[in-house]
Structure 1
Amino acid sequence: MILAEGNLLQADVQALVNTVNTEGVMGKGIALQFKRAFPAMFKDYEREAKAGRIETGRVHVFDVGSLMGPRWIINFPTKQGWRQPSRLEWIRTGLDSLIEEIQRRGIQSIAVPPLGCGNGGLDWSEVFPLIKESFGRVPAVRVLVYPPRGAPDPETMPVRTARPSLTEGRAGLLGLMRRYIDAGLDEESVSLLEIQKLLYLLQEAGQPLRLSFIAHRYGPYADNLRHVLNKLEGHYLRGFGDGSVSPEKQLRLLPGASDEAQAIIQEHPEIQERFERVARLISGFETPFGMELLSTVHWVATRAATRAKSAAEAIRDVQAWNTRKASLMSPAHVQAAWERLEQQGWLNRA
């Protein structure tokens, strides 16, 4: 048994183990990486899950049918609902099923992730002894075990999904990223926090993005933006990686992406007008703090249950949002954001 580092999906083995739930969802973490790298496997897993044939304690094996790279993908259910935690008993029974499949198929080498750790919440110090004990039954098998060390570099994550078409909304996202990058200081990437706020403002400017924003720790936040970024990752942009939503995560445009987006935007003058409106608003605020400040003040004035009707009320509401905003966003900051929003007509919506 070898304790390995790096990207499990690049391991030179016959079989790769993927941790999954029983609901047919691969939305983040290593499962999302597998979904992008092996789309046919995901379709098979999704179909089996909908039929109720994916369950804890029993692995799901997909034959890739490839002479190069892994021959098998072994989906190992570590949890039931994708939001629910893992249980040690599911790791134990799942390992029994995994060893049976290894013996039945004559698998000689395999790569194993930290089963149930990470999003599953289990302790590696309890999981690793189970893995070690189970693979002791197949001593001839070459086993690469990847302890929990965080997600690999997004640049190393393979993407083999079909390239999605650019809708107006997707083009709007890419185009606004390009505009924002061009206005910055020699940066070629945009943080996820900034993208959230840019799209909040673009949607508030009238672009129908169908993003569901709520008041969150860092201001307006739409969880369903993840699905858009998942589709674009590896085709038009890079950096979203394993689907985690850390606000500091940096995303960059891939070559040609902004040109394709611009071609679509030019066909729709109304999108360009909304772009210009957002660009005018954020001029001078093009930092993570500035974007959070503008969007937060806009929210308390237009979207909060009790809307601020003056700068003084906005200061009160921003200070009450959470302790983080109270310490970072001074009355002068909020006043400046309020004046910019008011001067440019962003506070007039019902």
Structure 2
Amino acid sequence: MSGITYVRGDATVPSVKGVKIVAHVCNDMGGWGKGFVLAVSRRWPEPEAAYRAWHRGRAGNDFGLGAVRLVQVERHVWVANMIGQHGTRTGSKGAPVRYEAIDTALARLAGHARELGASVHMPRIGCGLAGGTWTRVEPLITERLTGQGIPVTVYDHGN
């Protein structure tokens, strides 16, 4: 039992009470424009602006695989930009997903969620354009979040 709640719907519209973190995976190249980030940007401009500024300043900050930045977008809603994919295309080194980076980012996310007393909401991170498989990602979420008592809801977009 993973402890993850699965629902049909939009992860940018979590329908629970309390503080919420909408978590998603970004690439390490500064690219923002395909996949779930489009839904994030349609709802809130701040996460994209914060990601781009974080990438621009990467010489002097922690931008890189495994890093996490939280951006407050509403009174009780934060977006977690997690760097969990290298590049944007599948090539000789395989799919862009980096499971170790997602694992590191989830461990960091757990600390933020505990501090805020927040639940975590996400699509099937790392499994869309990043090319990962849910059978590899789900156990990381279970170990780093639900196994630590942090409620997680995963959203499958309904038709």
- TM-score by length of structure 1 reads 0.39
Report the AA paired with residue 126 of structure 2: G
1:132-143 correspondence runs (5 A): 132-139=142-149, 141-143=150-152
Residue 196 of structure 1 corresponds to none
Q: CA deviation at 1:6?
A: 1.4
Residue 57 of structure 1 corresponds to 66
Structure 1 residues 33 and 136: alpha-carbon distance in aligned structure 2, compared to 1, 3 A threshold: closer
Residue 8 of structure 2 corresponds to 5
Q: CA deviation at 1:121?
A: 1.1
| Aligned equivalents of 1:36, 1:58: Cα separation in 2 | 24
1:330-345 correspondence runs (5 A): none
Correspondence 1:145 to 2:148: no
Q: In the alignment, is the contact (CA less than 8 A) between 1:58 and 1:77 conserved in 2?
A: yes
Q: Deviations over 1:169-211 (max 9, x none)?
A: xxxxxxxxxxxxxxxxxxxxxxxxxxxxxxxxxxxxxxxxxxx
Q: Deviations over 1:319-341 (max 9, x none)?
A: xxxxxxxxxxxxxxxxxxxxxxx
- Across the two proteins, how many residue pairs are aligned to each other? 145
Residue 45 of structure 1 corresponds to 51
Q: In the alignment, is the contact (CA less than 8 A) between 1:117 and 1:124 conserved in 2?
A: yes
| Aligned equivalents of 2:47, 2:31: Cα separation in 1 | 12
Report the AA paired with residue 87 of structure 2: G
Larger % of helix: which?
1
Q: Which runs of 5+ in 2 are unaligned?
A: 91-95
The 3-state SS of whatever aligns with 1:75 is: strand
Higher relative contact order (CA 8 A, sep 6+): 2
| Aligned equivalents of 1:142, 1:132: Cα separation in 2 | 10
Q: CA deviation at 1:48?
A: 0.7
Residue 77 of structure 1 corresponds to 83
| Aligned equivalents of 1:138, 1:119: Cα separation in 2 | 28
| Aligned equivalents of 2:98, 2:110: Cα separation in 1 | 19
Match of 1:123 among 124, 133, 140: 133
Report the AA paired with residue 70 of structure 2: V
The RMSD of aligned alpha carbons is: 1.9
Report the AA paired with residue 144 of structure 1: T
Match of 2:26 among 12, 16, 20: 20
| Aligned equivalents of 1:104, 1:32: Cα separation in 2 | 28
1:1-350 correspondence runs (5 A): 1-13=4-16, 14-52=20-58, 53=61, 54-64=63-73, 66-67=74-75, 70-83=76-89, 85-107=96-118, 109-139=119-149, 141-146=150-155, 149=156, 152=158
Q: CA deviation at 1:82?
A: 2.7
